[in-house]
Amino acid sequence: MSAPFVFLPGWCVGRTPVAATVTALGGQIIDLPGYGSEPLIADFDAAVDAIAGRLQPGTALGGWSLGAQMALAVAARHPDKVGKLLLVAGTASFVQRDGWPHAMPPAMLAEFTAGIAADVEAMLPRFVGGFNRGDARAKTVTAELLELADPRPSGEVLASGLRWLRDVDLRADAVRVACPTLLIHGAADPLMPLGAAEALAALIPGAQLAAFAECAHAPFLSRADDFVTRARSFLHE
């Protein structure tokens, strides 16, 4: 892997849960807009362009969950910047749409968004515990994620990310991805069902899909060694 490897974290929990994995792969993290010292960019398309502007040509780009959606959009819209694409718990659409059943019902996301606005500290453990259901190490991974989670960003930042999850549909972008792509997905992921990963892999030309059995939404924690081995092999191919 001669090109740099850059990774985009997921919604709410920030960079620390993925930091050890990214370090093991010799990469660096770019925080999502509004996290850490990054300014909030409320518009998804503008945020994608801003991230692309920070990448060297040919970068190996990865992302987890919402970060995977952003990485997918960067690869499709700025093909010169992305030489390889690693999507972890990725999907083209977080909510169900016509022709895309492998997702959360919009009403469920609306209910969750209202709960976050009312009391984020009460909702976060339920959210993290929920997306680890079905994982062979669910309790351990949930505890680890909650312990590693960065300080919560502002309510405005959280709301912006939830609007993206509600509104963004990347099916048209997926078919435009021209670089080698690997999807790593938990076969038991209740938040981004395996069917979403299978459908996304079918849209991206030549994409590979590695599904980890008895693993939910955070395969880099629940199957850490297997994750690093598979990702490293792909990045160095």
pLDDT at 41: 96
Q: What is the pLDDT along the chain (237 residues), one digit of tens a residue?
A: 468 999 999 998 999 999 999 999 999 999 999 999 999 999 999 999 999 999 999 999 999 999 999 999 999 999 999 999 999 999 999 999 999 999 999 999 999 899 888 888 888 888 888 889 999 999 999 999 999 999 888 889 999 999 999 999 999 999 999 999 999 999 999 999 999 999 999 999 999 999 999 999 999 999 999 999 999 999 998
Tokens, residue 105: 């019902």
CATH fold for domain 5-236: Rossmann fold (3.40.50)
CA dist 231 and 159 (Å) reads 31
Active site residue 189: yes
Q: Which of 102, 217, 222, 233 is catalytic?
A: 217
Q: List pLDDT tens digits, range 110-132.
A: 998 998 888 888 888 888 888 89
Active site residue 167: no
- Amino acid identity for residue 224 in this structure: A
Buried b (16+ CB within 10 A) or exposed e, 189-201: bebbbbebbebbb
Q: Which of 65, 93, 160, 222 is catalytic?
A: 65
> Do the beta carbons of residue 87 and residue 200 sit within 8 Å?
yes
* DSSP code string of 66-84: HHHHHHHHHHHH-TTTEEE
**Single pTM value for the model:** 0.96
Q: What is the CA radius of gyration of the chain?
A: 16
Q: Which of 93, 135, 173, 189 is catalytic?
A: 189
Ordered by start, the domain boundaries in the chain are 5-236
